[in-house]
Structure 1
Amino acid sequence: MSASRPVAIVTGASSGIGAATAERLARDGFTVYAAARRIERMQGLEASGINVVALDVTDDPASTAFVERVLAERGRIDALVNNAGYGAYGAFEEIPLDEARRQLDVNLFALARLTQLVLPSMRERRSGTIVNISSIGGRITTPLGSWYHASKFAVEGLSDALRIEVAPFGIRVVVIEPGAIETEWGGIARASALETSGTGPYRPLVESATAFLEASDRPGRASPPSVVADAIARAVAAKHPRTRYAVGSQARLAVGARRLLPDRVFDRVISRVFLGGMRPPR
């Protein structure tokens, strides 16, 4: 057991933001435990000395055993980066509630449970940082993303309340709000929207929205995952980190516009940008 090196847990580390964050924190001197369902996709992380763990974050006994293992091996957890999550898109009317529950389970409840599991040791040491990966989708909304936005808005509210609760114990809570990032997220969102609502009354909206999402993923439009990893590293290292970091392509612009514009005006902007002003047939 090494008491000198800080320890970080990063979930959803098989690709994208999670993988980039695990690598960045390891370079910064952390002992990193990178967790994801697809352990075969973390061979590169393992080769660089990062501890890789197969974990479904919605499996409560597995999450409990994982945290217990880290504490048994290292004696401390200095940072938890709750990155695991996904976006399933589709018309609200047509999304099965089972899929809605799964999205909330992964994006919200699994994050909450892992946070509960690490808090006792952080509280005992009176030190630690919880980093919750939200999205600009936790501050703004777009059509077809109702349940994704519901999960991310909930992460924002949970984080705000938790930040106040644990501050007396020396624990910091930080929210990261990525914009357009070069990850698998956009492809998953497009595929789910087409599968759920690609036919029927919402088809014109889906076709326009998926075209916008595809264009956002083109080279030069989205930011690399490293910009998010850098923000996480800064937050973890800071004595007094900001409560929120909006990072990546269009993130600050989108969040700023939502703060300044009235609801109806913002709705029209999103309709023009995301759907090309298209409306479903009457």
Structure 2
Amino acid sequence: MDEQTALVLALQLVALFSIAGALLLYLLCKIRAGSGPESAGSTPGGGKALLVTCADNAIGLQLAVHLANRGFRVFAGLKDGASSGSSDDSVPARVIRAWQKHRESLTGLCHSALVALPLDVTREDLLHEAVDIIRAHLPAGEDGIWAVINTSGLSYRGRLEQQDIAHWDAILKTNVVGVLRTTRTFQGLLRNTSGRLINFGVADSADAGLVAYTASRYAVEGASNALRQELAPLGIKVITLHLSGVTPEMLFVTPKLNTKEERGDISVDMSGCIEYQPILLTPQSLRVVDVAVTAGAPNNCYELAPKGHWTKPINFIKSFVV
């Protein structure tokens, strides 16, 4: 074989291996993309339905979006909002609509894995309407949800002697009685799937000026312990999450869109995403939430951050523009 022929063969082999390498890289990328948050079928959620009782606040909205990205079919409660066709212009409603539109643009499907519904845990009528709405959205033959996550809550800060008793009533009505109402209303749907009830329990320490709120957290913790025993024969698991290092005011604050200061425009990055804040849970904490939601034999309680090791979360999260 002469030198020129050998050179041609070498070039052909290089081209052949380059094509094979490119095809292999393409396949690996497709596999990785298929295992990402946009692929519900292969993510931990697997299309299982769950309810986040309140997405009007920072903790609820973050969990609703995160779990939808993880492949769950999330029903998110909004006090002033309804379905995706609602005219509600609150920030949480806009974020949910943006998420729905983005998911539809990626998958071409009209139905969404993040469904807003009107829900107020202090109103019995809306709780029962929520059950009907959820059942209407479940696939044929299904009549249950995998989890209920109680994110509804109120807090008022101030010295006890200076607080209005109406504040105490509102805190206990939402934070404690609301959990009990929600549990009773959705117990049937949880029983059908041997699902789980997830509540927020006591933080690492009591805080001056939050006497009524702290009392409500201890009440939820105690109620969760008793419910764990009562619901175990029905196959329902009861889990408490302990969140340290975040004030109640931050937990239940209404999210706000990031804006460009000079014109007041919504802050949008180059990929067309809108930004909103605050986002409270770090990636580490979200991984703990994933375990609490998906584990076959979950612990009774989880620390969302080791005490004394809270990592400051980023101050915004992205959603796609409607």
- The question of a shared fold, defined as TM-score above 0.5 by the shorter chain, is answered with yes
| Residue type of the alignment partner of 1:122 | L
Query: Within 5 Å, which residues of 2 pair with 1:199-218?
Result: none
Classify the secondary structure of the residue corresponding to 1:252: coil
Partner of 2:136 in structure 1? 72
The structural deviation recorded for 1:15 is 3.9
Query: Within 5 Å, which residues of 2 pair with 1:253-268?
Result: 253=308
Highest RCO, 1 vs 2 (Cα 8 Å, sep ≥ 6) = 1
Aligned length: 213
In structure 2, what is the Cα distance between the partners aligned to 1:186 and 1:107?
Answer: 13
Unaligned runs of 5+ in 1: 189-221, 255-282
Partner of 2:76 in structure 1? 34
1:64/1:79 CA distance change after superposition, 3 Å: same
Partner of 2:231 in structure 1? 166
1:27/1:96 CA distance change after superposition, 3 Å: same
Is 2:56 aligned against 1:14? Answer: yes
The structural deviation recorded for 1:240 is 1.2
In structure 1, what is the Cα distance between the partners aligned to 2:198 and 2:136?
Answer: 22
Classify the secondary structure of the residue corresponding to 1:163: helix
Partner of 2:164 in structure 1? 96
1:244/1:51 CA distance change after superposition, 3 Å: same
Partner of 2:119 in structure 1? 55
The structural deviation recorded for 1:224 is 3.5
Match of residue 194, structure 2, among 127, 139, 148 = 127
Asked if 2 retains the 8 angstrom alpha-carbon contact of 1:128 and 1:172, the reply is yes
Classify the secondary structure of the residue corresponding to 2:307: helix
Is 2:247 aligned against 1:247? Answer: no
Classify the secondary structure of the residue corresponding to 1:162: helix
Partner of 1:209 in structure 2? none
Is 2:301 aligned against 1:234? Answer: no
List per-residue Cα deviations over 1:216-252 (Å, max 9, x = no partner). Answer: xxxxxx963655443222111001111111223xx52
Classify the secondary structure of the residue corresponding to 2:50: strand
1:86/1:187 CA distance change after superposition, 3 Å: closer
1:187/1:165 CA distance change after superposition, 3 Å: closer
**TM-score, scaled to structure 2:** 0.60
Structure with the greater alpha carbon radius of gyration: 2
Classify the secondary structure of the residue corresponding to 2:199: strand
1:187/1:118 CA distance change after superposition, 3 Å: closer
In structure 2, what is the Cα distance between the partners aligned to 1:247 and 1:6?
Answer: 23
List per-residue Cα deviations over 1:173-222 (Å, max 9, x = no partner). Answer: 1001111238852797xxxxxxxxxxxxxxxxxxxxxxxxxxxxxxxxx9
Asked if 1 retains the 8 angstrom alpha-carbon contact of 2:59 and 2:251, the reply is no
1:223/1:68 CA distance change after superposition, 3 Å: closer
| Residue type of the alignment partner of 1:41 | V
| Residue type of the alignment partner of 2:166 | D
In structure 2, what is the Cα distance between the partners aligned to 1:226 and 1:102?
Answer: 32
Alignment root-mean-square deviation, CA? 2.5
- Greater fraction of residues in helix: 1
The structural deviation recorded for 1:120 is 1.6
**TM-score, scaled to structure 1:** 0.68
Is 2:97 aligned against 1:46? Answer: yes
In structure 2, what is the Cα distance between the partners aligned to 1:182 and 1:88?
Answer: 11
1:83/1:93 CA distance change after superposition, 3 Å: same
Percent sequence identity is 26
| Residue type of the alignment partner of 1:131 | I
1:226/1:9 CA distance change after superposition, 3 Å: farther
